Amino acid sequence: MKKQVINYETLLKVTNSISHSHDPEEVVLLTAESVTHALNVKGCTVFLINRRTDELEIAASYGLSKEYLNKGPVSAMHSIAESLSEGPVAIGDVSDDPRIQYPEEAQKEGIASILAVPMTAGGRIIGALRVYTAEPAEFDMDDVNFVQAVTNMTGMAIDMARLYKGMKDSIETLKTMRDPRTRKSKKRTPYEGVPRSFTRPQL
């Protein structure tokens, strides 16, 4: 019951960030920290897919060391790839699972289990959220559903923030174009814009 209350509070926090924040960096940082505390786990990382390299790039992380985060490029094709194509994947033992790209680094970091959940926005997968435990864990459906709900909201928040940024940039561009200090004079000569074939009247 206690965990359910904490999870509900976390959902409210993330939802609130979606409603009030136009900064995707703030959203993912809040997500990583909130999920870690809500589930009382070792850490959490939010990844976004780089379409050019097919790598999962870290957008935000909480509870993990810089050494582990800098272990090397994370391949979307080889690092728990099923979580991006088939849905949430729970790995109970990172030391004996071929889906782990960096098993030695994970063990050195003190990671025992991982829950990987896809992140979607606008009907397409844009990244993933991963939960890390220090002790071997079996994630139940409540855990999976909670993390999936938070991940979906985070994906929506990122998409909204990107749209907002695009609109804001467009508005700023329009303001610059309309600023009298940045545009050329609009005064016209009597014959400006008149086709050359037009015969001026004899005066």
Q: What is the pLDDT of residue 179?
A: 54
Q: Which residues contact 77 (CB under 8 A, 6 or more apart)?
A: 54
Q: What is the pLDDT of residue 194?
A: 46
The total number of structural domains that make up the chain: 1
Q: How far apart are CA 83 and CA 124, in angstroms?
A: 14
Task: Give pTM, 2 decimals.
Answer: 0.77
Angle, helices 24-39/141-178, rounded to nearest 10 degrees: 170
The answer as to whether 151 is a domain residue is yes
Whether the per-residue pLDDT at 180 is higher than 90: the answer is: no
The answer as to whether 175 is a domain residue is no
For residue range 109-141, list pLDDT tens digits in order.
999 999 999 999 888 899 999 999 999 998 988
The answer as to whether 65 is a domain residue is yes
